[in-house]
């Protein structure tokens, strides 16, 4: 009994590369504005992960929401 199953592969490599570049840029920014300590560096890397939340928060603040 052979089953005829199909597999769909979605290739989203271009978006992955875009998000990787965005993370690198955010990491460079947040690390550069840190105080230079080890934990400041780690905090900068963590902030780079969630930078879209910072953008959304400040955009909504400007709109008065």
User: Do the domain assignments include residue 2?
Assistant: no
Burial classification of residue 29, based on how many CB atoms lie within 10 Å of its CB (0-12 exposed, 13-18 middle, 19 or more buried): middle
What integer pLDDT is reported at residue 6 of this predicted model? 84
Provide the whole-model pTM: 0.66
Q: Looking at the 3D structure of the chain, how many domains does it have?
A: 1
Write the CA distances from 14 to 19, 48, 51, integer angstroms.
Answer: 9, 20, 20
pLDDT at 62 over 90: yes
User: Do the domain assignments include residue 4?
Assistant: no
pLDDT at 1 over 60: no
**Domain region containing 52:** 13-63
User: Do the domain assignments include residue 3?
Assistant: no
* H runs (alpha helix) in 1-65: 13-32, 38-49, 51-63
Mean pLDDT of the 40-55 span: 92
What integer pLDDT is reported at residue 3 of this predicted model? 63
Per-residue pLDDT tens over the stretch 5-43: 788 777 767 788 888 999 999 999 999 999 989 999 999
What integer pLDDT is reported at residue 2 of this predicted model? 58
User: Do the domain assignments include residue 33?
Assistant: yes
The whole-angstrom separation of Cα 62 and Cα 44 is: 24
User: Do the domain assignments include residue 6?
Assistant: no
């Amino acid at each position: 009994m052979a089953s005829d199953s199909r597999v769909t592969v979605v290739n989203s490599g271009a978006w992955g590369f875009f998000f990787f570049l965005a993370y690198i840029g955010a990491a460079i920014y947040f690390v550069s504005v840190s105080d230079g300590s080890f934990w400041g560096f780690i905090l900068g890397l963590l902030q780079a992960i969630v930078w879209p939340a910072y953008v959304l928060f400040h955009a909504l603040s400007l709109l008065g929401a």
